[in-house]
Amino acid sequence: MAAQLNAVLRHAVEHVWPLPPVPGAVSAVRRRVGAVLATWNVSPETVEDSLLVVSELLTNAVVHALPPAELRLSWIRGDGPGTLRVEVTDAGPSRAGQSPDGIDPDEHGRGEQIVHALAARHGIRIHSGGVTRWADLVAA
pLDDT digits (tens, 9 = 90+) for 77-97: 776 778 999 999 999 987 555
99 in a domain, yes or no? no
Rounded alpha-carbon distances, angstroms, from residue 24 to 29, 30, 58, 95: 9, 10, 11, 22
Query: In which domain, by residue range, is 26 found?
Result: 2-94+115-139
Number of folded domains that form the chain? 1
Residue 87 is predicted with a pLDDT of 97
pLDDT in tens, 92-117: 987 555 555 454 454 556 778 889 89
Residue 12 is predicted with a pLDDT of 66
129 in a domain, yes or no? yes
CA 121 – CA 116 distance, rounded (Å): 8
Asked whether 73 and 36 are in contact (CB, 8 A), the reply is yes
Residue 8 is predicted with a pLDDT of 46
Asked whether 92 and 113 are in contact (CB, 8 A), the reply is no
Mean pLDDT score of the chain, rounded to an integer?
83
Residue 4 is predicted with a pLDDT of 56
Q: Looking at residue 85, which CATH number applies to its domain?
A: 3.30.565.10
Asked whether 64 and 94 are in contact (CB, 8 A), the reply is yes
Tell me if residue 4 falls in helix, strand or coil. Answer: helix
103 in a domain, yes or no? no
